[in-house]
Structure 1
Amino acid sequence: MGRRARRLVSGLIILALAGGGVLWWLAKPKPWDAAHWEGVGEPDLANGERVFWAGGCTSCHAATGAQDDARLVLSGGRPLKSPFGTFFPPNVSPDETAGIGGWTLAEFGNAMTRGVGKNGEHLYPSFPYGSYARMSVEDVNDLWGFMQTLPKSANVAPPHDLPFPFNVRLALGGWKLLYLTDAPRAEVNTADAKLAHGQYLVEGPGHCGECHTPRNALGGFEKDRWLAGAPNPEGEGRIPDITPGSKSIGSWSASDIASYLETGFTPEFDTVSGSMVDVQKNMAKLPASDREAIAAYLKALPPS
């Protein structure tokens, strides 16, 4: 090989290594700096419980069919089917071995808001950190404190069942570059305290868009169709459009929506069904002001 050819090959190798290094840096997990979680003080457990129900933790992390107090045992393992494979939510009880009892606030907060696990790995967005990214440090701290008071479970959830290439976690770094943001999902009058709080609950801990917003081929939200309804990821039926003017709740008043979230009854005296059953049970645990704020936000959205 001549000198010119060797230089060309060497240059290509250097470029490939440099490009690979840039891609690795862009795609690597990015937790918050340690200072982000410092100085938040003792958690407010009452607010932590409120955030717990708003966040719907039991809907995925309690055992299938759990009722009453059993819903507070966050043993994990309930299968979540999706077009990308089947996810099994982990044990997030305060058990020190099988659960997250040995985690720190920073490790928990980075999982919640940055999608980064205890060992620095990317988490799959089946865990809705894309919504939880909007949660305040105080609410994360309060939630963490409340979850430490819940029963322990020694259950070990199965690993995710994902085909190639979806089982390559490094690729999630590219997904985050495209879709992980804490920017508002919709424009509402945040000078109105009720609307601002409703936006926080719906777009943040309530993670309503995770089911009610359609996704593209990569699993990112279609930005111009916020809450406009989507195929059921588990393959049965469709998650309804919940914007004003929709056939599902477009004719409902704000008080109708708030009442539905509290009681499970529609204005037509039908009852909540499907995956919304668990959601409604969680929402019923919130103070009336939270449900009213959610309803006000939904009525303030532009029609789909």
Structure 2
Amino acid sequence: MRSALLAVLALVVAGAIVLTLLTLPVRVPASGLPSHAPDIANGKYIFTPAGCAECHAVPVKACDDLNTKDKETLAGGRCLKTSYGTFNVPNISPDKATGIGSWTTLDFVNAMKQGVAPDGSHLYPAFPYTSYQRLTFEDLIDLKAYLDSLPAVKHRVAPHALRFPYNLRQALGLWKRLYVDGKSVTPDPKASAELNRGAYLVLAAGHCSECHSSRDLLGGIVKAKEFAGALNPEGKGDVPNITPSDDGIGDWTVEDIAYLLETGNTPGFDTIGENMVPVQENMAKLTPEDRTAIAVFLKSLPPRPDAAQKPAQTGGREVEQ
């Protein structure tokens, strides 16, 4: 009996050690950063399609009394209510006490590429590092330089309020082994420069798949249904299919898509609304060449049937989701 108990104890200890090792954070080493002089202007350009202000500076649904319409005041405070619980969006202004002013460039790169905070804790993927990991090191260095140039705001945001077991932050180490590899978008040598640029803007900076894709039981994107639409994670309606299928944008031309990104107007003489408005406003600030590149990439996606299980409606499909 004693031998059996010791064997069980040994297995438990071994299992705990293995689990601990598997959940340890993976970091980019200092030697992994390229020698690159920060370009603040490019950092500002990347900031726009990345949509940082839409979560970190928008006063809509603020969880406290902070209220600003300045997209360069990134003090956080918005709350995202999901089925996992409430995520309170952090302060990413360069304030050293409550923001990310004390973060080094390497700290920032590890947050964006590996979902790891400077103290080694895992960050929740409500912050879409599963897409931001695809950004190049150079663009991340530039983005950090731009963020450091913005106003520092002293504003402490409340911690997340998540349900069990989602509040077990260390378990994210296992989750990230499935969905995070820290690799940048690799240009396709057989594709045009325009198509590769569109892929980079959609897959990395624009993180379009984060909203327009269905997720599995673990919260990861279902690759076979990527960009084919999804239920709105905040509970209202659905997010449209943006693949070139009959259920999506199959009858849209490249020019139609680029025009929508510039103006917010659809080919059917409708306008987008709600959650897509700030996204479109950001895309309107891109160069015409980049908007066209995005359109070219979207038209190159495999056509997929609509993956969202839409609630019953009395009329047609709502384009504003």
- For 2:309, the equivalent position in structure 1 comes to none
CA contact (8 A) 1:63 1:75 kept: no
Identity of aligned residues (%): 47
Task: Return the offset for 1:274.
Answer: 1.4
- 1:94 paired with 2:114, answer no
Q: Within 1, Cα distance between the matches of 2:69 and 2:195?
A: 32
Residues of 1 paired with 2:20 and 2:144: CA distance? 31
Cα 1:184–1:35 change in 2 (3 A) is closer
Q: Which stretch has the larger CA shift, 176-185 or 232-241?
A: 176-185
Query: SS state of the match for residue 241, structure 2?
Result: coil
* Aligned equivalents of 1:68, 1:164: Cα separation in 2: 33
Shift of 1:246: 4.0
Matches within 5 A, 1:51-130: 51-65=46-60, 70-130=70-130
Q: Which amino acid aligns with 2:51?
A: G
Q: Partner of 1:196 in structure 2?
A: 196
**Matched ranges for 1:1-304 at <5 A:** 5-37=1-33, 39-65=34-60, 70-181=70-181, 190-304=190-304
Shift of 1:188: 7.2
Superposed CA offset, 1:129-167 (max 9, x none):
000111111010000011111122112222111111111
Unmatched 5+ residue regions in structure 2? 305-321
- CA distance in 2: counterparts of 1:247 and 1:153, whole angstroms: 44
Change (3 A) 1:121 1:27: same
3-state SS, counterpart of residue 86 of structure 2: strand
Distance 1:250 1:157 in 2: 43
Query: How far apart, CA to CA, are the structure 2 residues paired with 1:187 and 1:109?
Result: 20
Scaled by the length of structure 2, what TM-score is found? 0.88
Provide the secondary structure at the position in 1 that maps to 2:267.
coil
- Residues 234-272 of structure 1: per-residue CA shift (max 9 Å, x gap): 110000000001434221111111111111111222112
Q: Distance in 1 between matches of 2:156 and 2:190?
A: 43
Deviation at 1:63, TM superposition (A): 3.0
153-162 vs 136-145, which moves further: 153-162
> Alignment RMSD, CA only?
2.2
Alpha-carbon separation, structure 1, partners of 2:290 and 2:170: 38
Instruction: Call closer, same or farther: CA 1:100–1:301 in 2, change over 3 Å.
Output: same
Deviations 1:18-42 (A, max 9, x none): 12111111111111112112x4332
- Report SS of the residue matched to 2:251: coil
Larger mean CA deviation between 249-258 and 67-76 belongs to 67-76
Q: Deviations over 1:184-240 (max 9, x none)?
A: 999977531111111111111110010000001211111100100000001100000
Relative to 1, partners in 2 of residues 1:222 and 1:187: Cα closer, same or farther, differing over 3 Å? farther
Q: Distance in 1 between matches of 2:186 and 2:212?
A: 14
Equivalents in 2 of 1:296, 1:197: separation in Å?
9
Change (3 A) 1:53 1:96: same
Helix, strand or coil: the match of 1:277? helix
Question: Which contiguous aligned blocks of 4+ residues in structure 1 show a shift greater than 4 angstroms?
Answer: 65-69, 182-190
How does the TM-score come out when normalised to structure 1? 0.92
Letter in 1 for 2:28: W
Residues in 1 aligned to 2:57 and 2:78: alpha-carbon distance in whole angstroms: 7
CA contact (8 A) 1:94 1:102 kept: yes
Aligned in 2, Cα 1:70/1:105: closer, same or farther, shift over 3 Å? same
Amino acid aligned to 2:112 = M
Structure 1 pair 52/109, CA: closer, same or farther in 2 (3 Å)? same
Where does structure 1 lack aligned partners over 5 or more consecutive residues? Answer: none
* Distance across 1 between alignment mates of 2:231 and 2:187: 25
Amino acid at match of 1:120: G
User: 1:12, CA displacement in angstroms?
Assistant: 2.1
Contact 1:91 / 1:98 at 8 angstroms: preserved in 2?
Answer: yes
- Which residue identity is paired with 1:283? M
Residues 22 and 174 of structure 2 are in contact (CA less than 8 Å); yes or no, is this contact kept in structure 1? Answer: yes
